[in-house]
Amino acid sequence: MTRFTWGPADGLIVNQDFAGPQTYTQSLSVIGLSGTVSKFTMQVLHAYPGAGTAWHAISPPLFTPVSPPQPDCEGGPGFSIGSTVAGATTIPNAVPTATLTCTEGLTNHAVTCYLTIEVTISPPFVADPATRYGIATLEYHHQNSVAGVSPDACDYADLPMCFAQQNSSAIVNGVTITLSNEGGLLSWENDPMVVDCWRAITPTHSSTWGSIKTLYR
């Protein structure tokens, strides 16, 4: 089973509020695997922010794939990915890569961003089912972010965001298996889930581009 959480992997934190300029992290980890593991693949989805520039690093132009590291709105560090996960055992020889693409629905015009993460392990390792292993850490560098509007910073960091983990799999003993998720839904500035994150982030929901922007005003 995989865990998607804010902060270290040894606990589950589903909401994170903006607490000033700093780096905020989400961690991906797994427990219960048995056998020889050579690869992990998963996606993290988020809705396209409708206001502000605080999430500039994960909001590329539509249909334009990018890979971390990505800069923030001021040109400083914005978004990166790492293989070391606090609160979990490091997988030897694990190399994470990621591609981020934002797309618009053909019929409902909802904009969703897809971060596809692949972790290759060479040589493969033999997993202990009782051990929690770190898959990747997603690092959101908000050193230049502020609450509200600002002419000389990345603004509106205090508006809500939603993130969802989907399509998790691993190659174990040469066979691709589907991994279950422990929740898989995180929010930012949304305690206790005032915004319906599933509706805001699911690409099949019949929301309009205008309604998505309303969520972030």
pLDDT digits (tens, 9 = 90+) for 1-31: 999 999 999 999 999 999 999 999 999 999 9
Whether 30 is covered by a domain: the verdict is yes
Whether 133 is covered by a domain: the verdict is yes
Q: Which residues contact 202 (CB under 8 A, 6 or more apart)?
A: 112, 164
d(CA 100, CA 50): 18
Question: How confident is the model at residue 109, as a pLDDT?
Answer: 67
- A 10 A CB-CB count for 206 gives 11
DSSP state for residue 58 in the 8-state scheme: G
How many structural domains is the chain composed of? Answer: 1
Whether 79 is covered by a domain: the verdict is yes
What would the two tokens of residue 135 be?
A: 């898959």
Using the predicted structure, report yes or no on whether residue 108 has a pLDDT greater than 90: no
Q: Quick one: pLDDT band at residue 207, thresholds 50, 70, 90?
A: very low
CATH number at residue 205: 2.60.40
C-alpha distances in angstroms, 63 versus 103, 108, 177?
A: 5, 16, 29
Whether 100 is covered by a domain: the verdict is yes
What would the two tokens of residue 119 be?
A: 């972790």
pLDDT tens-digit readout, 141-179: 999 999 999 889 999 999 999 999 999 999 999 999 999
Whether 197 is covered by a domain: the verdict is yes
Whether 217 is covered by a domain: the verdict is no
Mean of the pLDDT values across residues 101-126?
89
Range of the domain at 79: 2-211
CA 11-196-28 angle, 5° bins: 30
Whether 150 is covered by a domain: the verdict is yes
Whether 216 is covered by a domain: the verdict is no
Question: Strand 35-47 to strand 161-172: parallel, antiparallel, or no bridges (unpaired)?
Answer: antiparallel
